[in-house]
């Protein structure tokens, strides 16, 4: 028996400082708001998936997850760019944003075949802004959303 094809994906991150995280992803990184699930969940549109910022303590789970600053690194929010120049532009934007922190300047990583920089959002999540050095490294995303 084959499974039906999935229709998309959504990444949930939990924010102790909900408003700062919404500003970080919406205003600083320029992600478009796709919707909300009540007043405590803001959903942003990414190419090929959604990113949901959830106020810490709110969850469909019986034991709501905590933000990365309290729980430790459990995930990286990976944002893909088309070029090294795009990664550089995000680096400049994040440096002057006053929200979150920049951990490293953009650099070439030949081991993984990418050019990337690392930052943390206001609630401690690792945010990696990157581009692949070989454009055909991954199969293209299906644009079903």
Q: For 18-34, what is each residue's pLDDT tens digit?
A: 999 999 999 999 999 99
List, as one string, the DSSP characters of 39-62. Answer: TTEEEEEETTEEEEEEETT--SSS
The answer to whether residue 4 scores a pLDDT higher than 60 is no
Per-residue b or e along 46-75, where b marks 16 or more CB atoms closer than 10 Å to that residue's CB: beeebbbbbbbebeeeeeebbbbbeeeeee
The answer to whether residue 10 scores a pLDDT higher than 80 is yes
The answer to whether residue 89 scores a pLDDT higher than 90 is yes
**Tens digits of residue pLDDT in 42-80:** 999 988 889 999 998 887 666 767 777 787 777 788 888
The answer to whether residue 1 scores a pLDDT higher than 70 is no
Give pTM, 2 decimals: 0.77
The answer to whether residue 139 scores a pLDDT higher than 90 is no
Rg, Å, the chain Cα set: 16
Mean pLDDT score of the chain, rounded to an integer? 86
Give CA–CA dist 36/44, Å, rounded.
9
pLDDT of 141 reads 65
Output the CA–CA distances (angstroms, integers) from residue 84 to 5, 6, 91, 94, in the order listed: 33, 31, 11, 15
Query: Using CA of residue 52, residue 22, residue 47, residue 106, what is the dihedral sign?
Result: negative
The set of residues, in sequence order, having a beta carbon less than 8 Å from that of 68 and lying 6+ positions away, is: 13, 74, 75, 123, 124, 125, 126
Strand pairing report for 114-120 and 126-132: antiparallel
Listed range (61-70, 103-112, 128-137) with the worst mean pLDDT: 61-70
The answer to whether residue 145 scores a pLDDT higher than 60 is no
pLDDT of 117 reads 94
pLDDT band at 82 (very low <50, low <70, confident <90, very high): confident
């Amino acid at each position: 028996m084959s499974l039906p094809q999935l229709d998309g994906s959504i990444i949930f991150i939990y924010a102790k400082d909900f408003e700062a995280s919404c500003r970080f992803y919406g205003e600083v990184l320029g992600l478009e708001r796709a919707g909300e699930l009540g007043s405590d969940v803001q959903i942003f549109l990414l190419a090929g998936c959604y990113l949901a910022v959830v106020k810490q303590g709110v969850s469909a789970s019986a034991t709501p997850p905590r933000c990365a600053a309290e729980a430790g690194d459990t995930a990286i929010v990976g944002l893909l760019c088309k070029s090294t120049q795009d990664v550089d532009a995000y680096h400049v934007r994040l440096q002057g944003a006053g929200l979150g922190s920049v951990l490293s300047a953009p650099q070439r990583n030949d081991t993984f075949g990418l050019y990337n920089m690392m930052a943390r959002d206001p609630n401690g999540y690792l945010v990696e802004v990157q581009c692949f050095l070989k454009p055909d490294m991954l199969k293209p995303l299906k644009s079903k959303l």
